[in-house]
Structure 1
Amino acid sequence: MDDETAEIELLEQNLNKTRQISQRMTSILSSFDTRLVKLEKSILPLYNSTQLLTRRANNIESVLQKIDDIASYQEGVAAEEALILRGPQSNQLTAYTEVLERMNASIAFNTLEGGSRDQARLVETGAKKLIQFYTKLVAEASSGVPSNGAEFTPIPFNPSLLASLRPLVAFMRTLPLPATHPSHPAAPGIQTALKEAQKGYGDMRGAWARKCLETYGKRVVDRAETIDGVVAGREFGTWVENMMKVAEEEYGLLSELAPLPAQSYLSTTFATLITPLTSLFTSTLSSLGSLIKRSLHKNTFLALSTYASLTALQGRWDDVMCRNAGRKENELKDGVHSIRASCLRSFPEFLADVRAAALGKGGDVGTGLVDFTISTVQYLNRIMEVRDAATSALLTLGDGNWKMGEGTQAGKTKAAEVDDQTILEHYTYDVVNVVLSSLLTLSRMNKRPAFGSVFLLNNVSYLRTQLLLKPRTDVTSILSRPAQETLNSNFRTAKAGYFDTNFSPLLQTLMDDKDKGKSATKDKFTRFFDLLEEITERHKLARVLQDDPEGRATVADEVVKLVVAFVATRNLGKEFSKSELDSAYMHRIIVDLDLRSYRSSEIISSDDHYIVYDS
């Protein structure tokens, strides 16, 4: 027990010591806490002040950084603004466009309204500077001295300028427009500037194209007065074709270089571009038309050839000059109508000129070819060169209307039934008849029928030879069978009239059979050779078929046969020496229709025969 009591007492002592220590610790901690509270109260204002200063220091640092950023940005903006205001340079075009691209991007994301407006103004200024640069390059490509050689040669767009324009145009097509950037402040102004630049492009290129073509158009008109009409008409057609080639090339360039590539803008600009060309075409054709109207009989084939050339180009003109430009006006069509009107007039006027030529000549006209005979042959041959144009014009005029109120010929088909070949045959038939009628009228006006008959034979033979026997072209193909029969019939009639007026008096001397004595026979031959000498002298003045040796020889042979046959018939039963009736001898007298003079003293008597010796 004692031990346990001792342990309990020991425990109580330890417990008391622990309690004392705890109280002492509690007292110390309470004192420490009191001191901490006092310390906190004294440090807290300082802490709060320090935290505020730290925050202020951070804010100041941020402000200073922002100030540096703004200053740097402003320096960049100033540099970019200076670059834009200076305008694009050929060697800095990429840098210039990059600046505008950055500004456009910043406008799209910028929330500062004032800054956006300023940048928009810069973008618009830069775009207009680019547009001015574009206009300058186009002006350089549309200036200079055009080619002035014998043949038209278009001047291509300067390759170096074209290389500069391509990237420029590609960027200009990305500029903001109201249709693509409706909220962009600069879009309306940029679009207006682009429209003006594109219109200026059309004006400059159109003026340049006209300048290149104008000299050649004037040359065509000037040459038309001096060269063959068919050739001149084809030259005009070639000139118009060159104009359309130029227009086609310009349309291709416009499609590539137009800042506003929409079809509506292209059509409007192309219409502006070709206006100088259509004006040049109209004025040149008007000059050519005035030349034709001033002397239609001389320029008939110029009109027909021009009509043929323009008609062949009508479809291409519609595509190039009308459809591409969205135009309803068709200057070529109007020009074709004006030229066709001259063509329509030419047909009746040609017939009227031939009739007037017969009525206007008074007195003797000689025995040679008259102008309208030669011109008729030339006219019908030249018709073959412009056959399609002549056919088209005649169909428009109407079958028989070229007779100017004289009425259509009996037996002709109705207008609806007339084809190309028939209308030409009808017209050439009337031409042949009018010419033959005028020749007959002129031959009858001659106071000396013998000369009139030679005149008629020469002219009718020339027509027949040139149109039927030895044509230079395929003119026979447009002469109907009635026309050919008319020519042959009139030739036979003219030849019979020539024989009758020139050789009937010669043969008449041998018809008197009252006195059959030697003296009477000698007198008959004397009168025969007197008349032969007279015919000889006449034929020295009236050359028969001078330009047709073969035809002249044929007529001479027929004359010999006529005389010999008549002498033989009138002197049946009477023997003549071979020399008297030798056709070869008579041929020597008459063959060339020079009919050399022989004197009656050269006729000598030999028994009952009368021999004529060749001198």
Structure 2
Amino acid sequence: MVGPRNAAFAEESAEVEVLLASLGKTKDITKRIAASLARLDVSGKIVKDAIGPIYSNTQQLQITSRNIDKVNEAIEKLKQPLDSRGREESIIRAGPKASGLPQYLSALKRIDKALTDLSSTNMRANQQAVSDFHSLLSTGVNQLNDMYRQMLQEDAQPVEPLHHITKQIPFPTFSQEKAQSLSQIAMAMASAGAHSARLGQRDDDAATLIYVEVRGDYLQNSLQNLATASIMTSKRRGNDSGIYREGSSGVGAYANGIEGMFLAEAENTSRIFRNDPGRVFTVTCGKALATFTRTLSELNNGIKPRILSDCFLAYEILDLFTPLSYRLESRTGQLRSQFADALRPIRDTARSSFSDILSQTKKQAESISTLPPDGNTIPLVSQTASRLQNLAIFERPLLALLSSIGDGNWKSTPGMASQSTLNLELTPSTENPTLLSHYLIDIVDALLSTLNARSQVLHPKKPIQGIFQLNSVAVLTRAVQSSPDLARYLGISPHNAKLDAYRKAGSSLYLTAWRDPCNQLFDQIQTSSGSRPLSGQAIDSTSIIKSLSSKDKDKIKEKFKLFNSSFDELITRHKSLHMEAEVRSQLGREIQGMIEPLYTRFWDRYHEVDKGKGKVVKYDKGTLSQMLAGL
């Protein structure tokens, strides 16, 4: 056992010796490597000390080289506009017509860019070049201004708007090609103007100024005739008291002309001034709007002293131009406030007209000193009827005006409610047709109540008062029935109750006179039971007369005589009175309804009182019926 164990120990010992020998070699190599690293470090320091200054100088040289290249590039850029000045100058001096507009505009753009590049360097050496280029640009822009103005003036001859309106011809606008050229020129002028503004010159908006001058005159001159015609056609002769009729002046054509020409101009400005078309359009329309404002002011001055007849012109102006301003705003986004300012005096006059119409209607009725003795109506009634019809025609502006005043406030002093704003763009929530019905009823009431009061003073008898009232009501009722516009406000319940009430009152006054013959047909004579006919039994006048005493017969004869006298007198008077056709028809039916049943009964019972001689019983039933039917 000892032998194998020793062999194993010997083998392990040998391996340890080998490892120890390898470890010694490793330590020796490590020492050598450390020595080599030390030497390398020393060598690196020596190299660094030698190469460092050379590397630093190389970096500085590279930076300097790059700076030199940049300076050369800047010099080349500075030389480019200077080198091109001669070429651009020849194009500019030749002018846009000779050079051609595209080439001319390109040259101006290059000059503009050159000015921008030169100005950005801010070098004193370039100031002369900047001045030369700006002078060249100014020369070019001045020539462009002349061309721009000339192109605008080619289409600046005034047109006749009425011709375009009646023939339904579109108002003229610039062709697409011309609008594009004008737009390019305007942009070039604006760009050049920006350089002028930086140099202290104020010509940065030259294109707009020229456009506004030329096109503003074109609009004003084209619309001037319509403005003048609106005034001339609205003027009245001194003795003309007729009510203004819708469309009888040139205001409608003026409105159509303004709308057509303004929309055409808005199309022009939107194609030429794409960055700010609304401002240019508004300023361009300024002269025409100033004329429009003066025209409305003159029309308003003519309306005020003739408010009863000419207030309808104010309503028509509002009805035409207020919606027009909304349409223009929806299409262009402009001008509504300008139209509102121009319309304000007319609007205030229209608002105050409501109380003026009421007060002057009543005043005119109170001033009546004589009335026709035959009960005929007077011109004031027919004038008021026409006024009512005209008021109903202008329902849209009137509803807006009345809504702004408030129900019943039109009875206040004229001008009391004329300071608030007004919007004619009615909506279902603000539109109240009842207001117009109430106002029209107040006019009717003011007229009839005042005339009836005058009739009580000037007409001595109630029947004539009744006829006068009935005739007046008939004229007003006929106006309502003949006008669908007015019928919507006074011809429907409950608003027709006012005229019906006056009609019933007038009828009652007139029929009081007919109660006298009616009273003669009532008898209180006692008859014996034997002589009284049974219900449904034929009446035997002979038997009834025989049953009467002489005294009762005399009373019956007296009643017939009194009836004949009163009836004949009323018939004569009835035929002598003036009655409107509907009044005569109405009263004839009412009189017949009163007299005929009573007379028929009375005649059936007592006509044998004079034994058919006709001395007492003057009329038989048929004759009386025919006479009553002829009333």
* Alignment partner of 1:306 is 2:317: yes
Instruction: Kindly state the Cα deviation for residue 169 of structure 1 after the two structures are TM-superposed.
Output: 4.0
Partners in 2 of 1:363 and 1:106 — Cα distance? 94
Partners in 2 of 1:587 and 1:424 — Cα distance? 45
Matched ranges for 1:120-519 at <5 A: 120-144=134-158, 146-149=160-163, 151=165, 155-157=171-173, 159=175, 163-164=177-178, 166-167=180-181, 169-170=183-184, 173-174=187-188, 177=191, 188=198, 192-193=202-203, 195-224=205-234, 229=244, 231-232=246-247, 236=251, 239-240=254-255, 242-258=257-273, 262-263=275-276, 266-318=277-329, 323-324=333-334, 330-366=337-373, 367-404=375-412, 420-449=432-461, 450-464=463-477, 466-467=479-480, 470=481, 472-473=483-484, 475-479=486-490, 481=493, 483-501=495-513, 503-504=514-515
Partners in 2 of 1:570 and 1:112 — Cα distance? 130
Give the letter for the 1:441 counterpart: A
Distance change in 2, residues 1:168/1:391 (3 Å) = closer
Tell me which moved more, 359-368 or 93-102.
Answer: 93-102
| Superposed CA offset, 1:282-329 (max 9, x none) | 1122122223212111123332333333332343455567x547xxx9
Give the letter for the 2:467 counterpart: V
Distance change in 2, residues 1:273/1:455 (3 Å) = same
- Structure 1 residue corresponding to 2:623, chosen from 585, 589, 595: 585
Query: For residue 534 of structure 2, what is the aligned residue in structure 1?
Result: none
| Superposed CA offset, 1:25-71 (max 9, x none) | xxxxxxxxxxxxxxxxxxxxxxxxxxxxxxxxxxxxxxxxxxxxxxx
Instruction: Kindly state the Cα deviation for residue 464 of structure 1 after the two structures are TM-superposed.
Output: 4.4
SS at match of 2:309: coil
Instruction: Kindly state the Cα deviation for residue 143 of structure 1 after the two structures are TM-superposed.
Output: 2.5
Q: CA RMSD for the aligned pairs?
A: 4.5
User: Once the two structures are aligned, what percentage of the paired residues are identical?
Assistant: 20
Instruction: Kindly state the Cα deviation for residue 498 of structure 1 after the two structures are TM-superposed.
Output: 1.1
Structure 2: any 5+ residue segments left out of the alignment?
A: 1-81, 119-124, 237-241, 415-428, 526-549
Structure 1: any 5+ residue segments left out of the alignment?
A: 1-72, 407-416, 594-615
Give the letter for the 1:361 counterpart: I
Distance change in 2, residues 1:537/1:581 (3 Å) = closer
Partners in 1 of 2:116 and 2:596 — Cα distance? 118
* Alignment partner of 1:575 is 2:575: no
Partners in 2 of 1:350 and 1:171 — Cα distance? 58
| Superposed CA offset, 1:82-131 (max 9, x none) | 66345332784345445556656776789976556434422321222112
Contact 2:96/2:144, CA 8 A, preserved across alignment: yes
Query: For residue 41 of structure 1, what is the aligned residue in structure 2?
Result: none
Partners in 1 of 2:268 and 2:393 — Cα distance? 38
Distance change in 2, residues 1:147/1:473 (3 Å) = closer
Distance change in 2, residues 1:165/1:85 (3 Å) = farther
- Structure 2 residue corresponding to 1:556, chosen from 570, 588, 600: 588
Instruction: Kindly state the Cα deviation for residue 537 of structure 1 after the two structures are TM-superposed.
Output: 4.5
Give the letter for the 1:398 counterpart: G
Figure out how many residues of one structure are paired with residues of the other and give that number: 490
| Superposed CA offset, 1:220-268 (max 9, x none) | 343345898463399746633542442333233223334xx543xx555
| Superposed CA offset, 1:338-395 (max 9, x none) | 3332232222222223322331112333422333433444344444332232222222
SS at match of 1:368: coil
Contact 2:452/2:469, CA 8 A, preserved across alignment: yes
Give the letter for the 1:287 counterpart: E
SS at match of 2:589: helix
SS at match of 1:143: coil
Partners in 1 of 2:573 and 2:198 — Cα distance? 96
Tell me which moved more, 123-132 or 423-432.
Answer: 423-432
Contact 2:220/2:287, CA 8 A, preserved across alignment: yes
Partners in 1 of 2:197 and 2:365 — Cα distance? 79
TM-score by length of 2: 0.64
- Structure 1 residue corresponding to 2:577, chosen from 542, 563, 567: 542
Contact 1:381/1:473, CA 8 A, preserved across alignment: no
Instruction: Kindly state the Cα deviation for residue 532 of structure 1 after the two structures are TM-superposed.
Output: 4.9
Instruction: Kindly state the Cα deviation for residue 429 of structure 1 after the two structures are TM-superposed.
Output: 3.7
Partners in 2 of 1:516 and 1:133 — Cα distance? 120
Partners in 2 of 1:189 and 1:165 — Cα distance? 30
Partners in 2 of 1:138 and 1:117 — Cα distance? 31
Distance change in 2, residues 1:569/1:496 (3 Å) = farther
Partners in 2 of 1:78 and 1:486 — Cα distance? 93
Query: For residue 19 of structure 1, what is the aligned residue in structure 2?
Result: none
SS at match of 1:297: helix
Partners in 2 of 1:79 and 1:554 — Cα distance? 101
TM-score by length of 1: 0.66
